[in-house]
A and B are shown apart, each in its own frame.
Chain A
Amino acid sequence: MKKNSIVMVKQVPDTANISGQVMKEDGTVNRAKLPAIFNHEDRVALEFALQIKDKFGGKVTAITMGPPRASDVLRECLFMGADEAVLISDRKFAGADTLATSYVLAETIKHIGGYDFIFAGRQAIDGDTAQVGPQTAEKLNIPQITYAEEILEVGESSVKVKKKIEGGYEILESKLPVLITVIKDAAFPRPFQAKRIMAYKNAKTLSELEKLTEGNSLLYIDQLRDEYESRNLYIKTLTMDDLKLDESRCGINGSPTKVYKVESVVLAGGNHEMIPPTKEGIGKLIDHLLADHILG
């Protein structure tokens, strides 16, 4: 009863370590100054997939759509135990919102095929939309379970999952294949494994191999790719053309979301008011909150 999983991962800016140089004067983020990290909930998603592999066997494929440097997280997926990693990268994907992203991811998953589970983190810490997982499931026309805390049971063609809801949990059963998004505390992701780090540290994407051939006329990219593939060190790289995608649905063209304005909100201290812990005080506090539209 082998079960194959595809895990959708994302490289995100490390928003927990924002230093002074990161915010530009216009309030936008200077990504070059931000360290890029593996979105934590996606690591948890990979852990779920690896646990299923540990139990039932099968294959784990990690995929990400992103710029060339997103290959870092794919290597980290290999370090954790993923069998294969795929980078979906094309300049034409730039500026994608969740709709365009889920289109590309869904088409990639169809291209890969042969899956029982698709795992993803609940959301990425840069966009915080939590939409890509569900939209991908919709496009693949398969069931989805979001906010998963625990996989309770895996059957021949079904799965039972504990899902977190406000103030409690639900237990849901679904047919396979299914897309599951997981929350931060659902599992502690396993560490990178020393031997896998050493074995896969030189795994490379197509564009990274192309860089090696630059300025070296003796290296041919096809040969190099074959060589890396034979050593299990090739990170499959897919472009818009490889996937035969509709350009009008990719990147900025396929993204109805338009950013209206980015504001740098400075939380200034100093403007505080003492409210006495009395009945009158509480009444006054409620009036304030109503006036600020925080309540009501």
Chain B
Amino acid sequence: MANYFSDNQDLLFHFEKLDLREVVDFLEENYSQSKKFNYAPVNYQDAKENFKRILEITGDIAANYIAPRSPSIDDEGATFKDGKVQYAKGTKESLELLSKAELMGMILPREYGGLNFPTTVYMMATEIISRADASLMNIFGLQDIGKTVAEFGNTAQKQEFLPGFASGEYTGAMALTEPDAGSDLQAVKLTAYQDEKGNWFLRGVKRFITNGNGEVLLVLARTEAGTKDARGLSMFVCYGDKTIKVRRIEHKLGIHGSPTCELQFNDTPAQLVGQRRFGLLKYVMYLMNRARVGIGAQSLGIAQEAYEQALNYAKAREQFGKPIYNLPVVSNMLIDMRVSLEAFRSLFYDTCVWLDRKEMLEQIVEKLKLEKKPVAELNERLKEATKYLNLLTPLAKYFLSEGANKICYDSMQIHGGTGYMHEFGIERLSRDARITNIYEGTSQLQIVAASGGVINDVFNDHFNECEKKEYKGSLINLLSVLKEIREMFNDCLKYIKEKKDPNIQDVASKDLVELYGYIYTGFLLLDEANDDQRKVFTARRYILDALTKARKNAEAIKNELYSDILHADTILI
């Protein structure tokens, strides 16, 4: 039987390579949890065996239960009638099965019914689910809502909400966006007020809320009357009860199974999560960064499926007396798709491991501080991890979501006219992919978020280390290519800094961020190729292709391609 985990050789490659020992040692409190829970691992090896087995059943359910339902989920979509949101039949069935399999609380603590897995493993599951049905990921992926309550809620809140999330009884929603506060969340207006007893209530409107019909909502609201920026915003948790009116659901291009709601809060009772005024600055940032990583997994799943469909179709479709797979133009496109897919996966799981590492360090430092123990060394590591992650998260989201769109585009091209028809899956995948580079921050915003780290060249030391490593055979040539790209980057960076024109800097940062991404990903692939013969092909195609792209990026910057934005009003008639 098909299995989206065990059949996916590249995912297996990354799983085997995964080193989360430090993170898992920490999460398992040095495996003392195994004394309390018969399903907790007794050592790291045992934990890894657990992860593998759970990913195997996820892969089985995804391939054999969810994937066959995805065309009907797309056709039927979530519906809205008499003020109530209904999932498509397939969505409902899939969620029920995932709940029965106990996969809805993968990252929640065991004491509340969760599996206590690291985020990286959860992201592998998310990739697998997204491949089967991208829209289902929008609900499966909301496990982060529970995780946020687990991180920042008080004990009573954890006891109240987490068991329901872990069992799948509750699905969540994060209610952030408003009609006038999209990319600019500082402008959130929904108000939270207290009665004389100190109970909080919410009043106002939220828009584009994924799964806004969920049982439990995290809401960003203004608690400090008269403020206009992020410092007046706090985070709340509330039930999706009758005080919250779903006004409508959106008719979208893709991810039809995921209901996108407009919500009206009519004095909804709510509980404050964490501290006042840290809503956006701390908690939403935490949630958003995780959600961005989640979209990376969704993009990867969609891209994997688009590639598989293109490959199968190319092998089955005969023209000119042979399968089109045998036409060099087609096989070359397939290689491009495959190589980008593998490069994205390397970048993605590297990012996930940094996320796990950073959250671990954060918790250790916090704990040591409470115990008044020295934290200097760990703090250094935390600072470094935070710096890396602040760059890697938007970089990965940017590359993966744009890349998924490109892979879908090429896959449809290989399908020819057939692929344009609704009957074939690639049409749906293309529509589903299109949201990934828009929501949770558009690609343009990811560039902005990444550019700080790029301009400060945060991987400078890391790249220097990479350059010193010993590489085998032909990889030495590829190393020199990466060095060349690095020189181009340094050159461009200097040029832009000297330019001192913020408008040009803004526009050019896309080229700069991409250049940086090529170098980082290139080194990841070079490392993999050093250990795995087949990966030499991946590294070669990626790095040589990166060189041609890098030249284009560098030329654009240095030839002042963008200087005409000063004349935008004249050009844009």
Contact = CB atoms under 8 A, between A and B. Distances in A.
B57 A191 contact: yes
A192 B57 contact: yes
A190 B100 contact: yes
Contacts of B53: 197-198, 201
A198 B1 CA distance: 22
A51 interface: no
A148 to B, nearest CB: 22
Contacts of A17: 1
B54 A193 contact: no
Contacts of A201: 49-50, 53
A17 to B, nearest CB: 8
Contact of A195 (B41, B97, B115): B115
Interface residues of A, number: 14
Nearest to A195: B39
Contact of B61 (A191, A196, A198, A199): A191
B57 A197 contact: yes
Nearest to A232: B38
Interface string B260-293: 0000000000000000000000000000000000
Given A195-B39, A197-B53, 11 more contacts: A191-B57, A191-B61, A192-B57, A194-B57, A195-B115, A196-B39, A198-B50, A198-B53, A198-B54, A201-B53, A232-B38
19 contacts: A190-B100, A191-B57, A191-B97, A191-B100, A192-B57, A192-B101, A193-B102, A194-B57, A194-B115, A197-B39, A197-B54, A197-B57, A198-B39, A198-B41, A198-B50, A198-B54, A201-B49, A201-B50, A232-B38
Nearest to B38: A199
Contacts of B57: 191-192, 194, 197
Interface residues of B, number: 17
Nearest to A201: B53
Nearest to A233: B38
A232 B38 CA distance: 10
Interface in A172-212: 190-199, 201
B539 to A, nearest CB: 33
A91 B86 CA distance: 56
A248 to B, nearest CB: 41
B38 A194 contact: no
Interface of B: 1, 38-41, 49-50, 53-54, 57, 61, 97, 100-103, 115
Nearest to A37: B1
Interface of A: 17, 190-199, 201, 231-232
Contacts of B50: 197-198, 201
Nearest to B53: A197
A196 B101 CA distance: 9
Nearest to A194: B102
A193 B38 contact: no
A134 B414 CA distance: 55
B57 to A, nearest CB: 5
A227 to B, nearest CB: 13
A191 B41 CA distance: 21
Contacts, number: 42
A193 B50 CA distance: 12
A14 B101 CA distance: 23
A192 B50 CA distance: 13
Contact of A199 (B39, B49, B54): B39
A194 B99 CA distance: 10
A190 B39 CA distance: 19
Report which residue of B49, B101, B115 has the largest number of chain A beta carbons within 10 angstroms of its beta carbon.
Answer: B101
Report which residue of A17, A195, A199 has the largest number of chain B beta carbons within 10 angstroms of its beta carbon.
Answer: A195
Nearest to B115: A194
A194 B110 CA distance: 12
A193 B100 contact: yes
A197 B53 CA distance: 7
B101 A194 contact: yes
A232 B49 CA distance: 19
B94 to A, nearest CB: 11
Given A198-B50, A198-B54, A193 B101 contact: yes
Nearest to A193: B102
Contacts of B102: 193-195
Contacts of B49: 201
Contacts of A197: 39, 50, 53-54, 57
Contact of A191 (B1, B38, B101, B115): B101
Nearest to B97: A191
A111 to B, nearest CB: 27
A198 B103 CA distance: 13
Contacts of B54: 194, 197-198
A199 B50 CA distance: 9
Complex A-B, nearest 5 residue pairs according to Cβ-Cβ distance, in ascending order = A198-B39, A194-B102, A191-B101, A199-B39, A195-B39
A195 B115 CA distance: 7
B64 to A, nearest CB: 10
A219 B411 CA distance: 57
A84 to B, nearest CB: 15
A38 B54 CA distance: 18
Contacts of A193: 100-102
B140 to A, nearest CB: 14
A216 B1 CA distance: 37
A144 B113 CA distance: 40
Contacts of A191: 57, 61, 97, 100-101
A237 to B, nearest CB: 21
A199 B41 CA distance: 9
A94 B39 CA distance: 36
Contacts of A192: 57, 101
A233 to B, nearest CB: 9
Contacts of B61: 191
Nearest to B56: A197
Contacts of A231: 38
Report which residue of B39, B40, B97 has the largest number of chain A beta carbons within 10 angstroms of its beta carbon.
Answer: B39
Contacts of A196: 39
A98 B97 CA distance: 36
Contacts of B41: 198
A190 to B, nearest CB: 5
Nearest to B47: A198
Report which residue of A17, A191, A193, A201 has the largest number of chain B beta carbons within 10 angstroms of its beta carbon.
Answer: A191
